[in-house]
Chains A and B, each alone.
Chain A
């Protein structure tokens, strides 16, 4: 149980275009999801906290107009990278915290974004 599905796993896009990444909780409701970015051989850096039905909370230094987050339902959060640039190339990971049981965190499999 407690599976988070992230799609797509890999995407290559041209500079200037936008890319949408989806994160779905398959067998539970996630009122809060988290979006992380991981650079090669580095740790996960929290970008924003996505709250169902309200605006996301962005970490300091993360451009909210560039990384649009929508959490329209209890099972889906999306991250849209707008006007992508090569420096946006990275590994993006979503996570949800279980609101029951052991309150653990579960992670999506990640999306490798390459902007060319």
Chain B
């Protein structure tokens, strides 16, 4: 079975600082990878996803993530965070089987951006 590790549980940054959130997964086969964001009081929203092709994926709101297969990693980055990026960020993985495979989530990273 697959698993996901997010080592940063709580990150505090000042506005305009650069962000990198770590995500490592464990699975022996091909995977699909996702980053979701959950703003306070709101439901999960997809930031970006990787299925195949270019390992550098660009998502919404200036976020990007890089899939490094050799490291089993899919770290999320943003060059300059804003106060509105304060939220919980979840990395998720599913086997690339082409069917409705279940998503496995990491424990999440709480990002707090200060003014």
Contacts and interface: CB of A to CB of B under 8 A. Distances in A.
A93 B44 contact: yes
Interface residues of A, number: 24
Nearest to B104: A46
A43 B108 contact: yes
A45 B34 CA distance: 16
A31 to B, nearest CB: 7
Contacts of B16: none
B51 A95 contact: no
B107 A104 contact: no
9 contacts: A42-B108, A43-B105, A44-B90, A93-B43, A97-B101, A103-B98, A104-B46, A104-B49, A109-B42
B106 interface: yes
Chain A binding surface SS class: strand
Chain B binding surface SS class: loop
B46 A105 contact: yes
Interface in A59-105: 93, 95, 97, 99, 102-105
B63 to A, nearest CB: 16
Contacts of B45: 107
A32 B99 CA distance: 10
Given A95-B103, A105-B34, A105-B103, A43 B46 contact: no
Contacts of A104: 34, 46, 49
Interface in B63-115: 90, 98, 100-108, 110
Given A44-B90, A105-B46, A107-B44, A49 B102 contact: yes
A105 B106 CA distance: 16
Contact of B51 (A36, A45, A102, A107): A102
Interface string B22-57: 000000000010101000001111100101000000
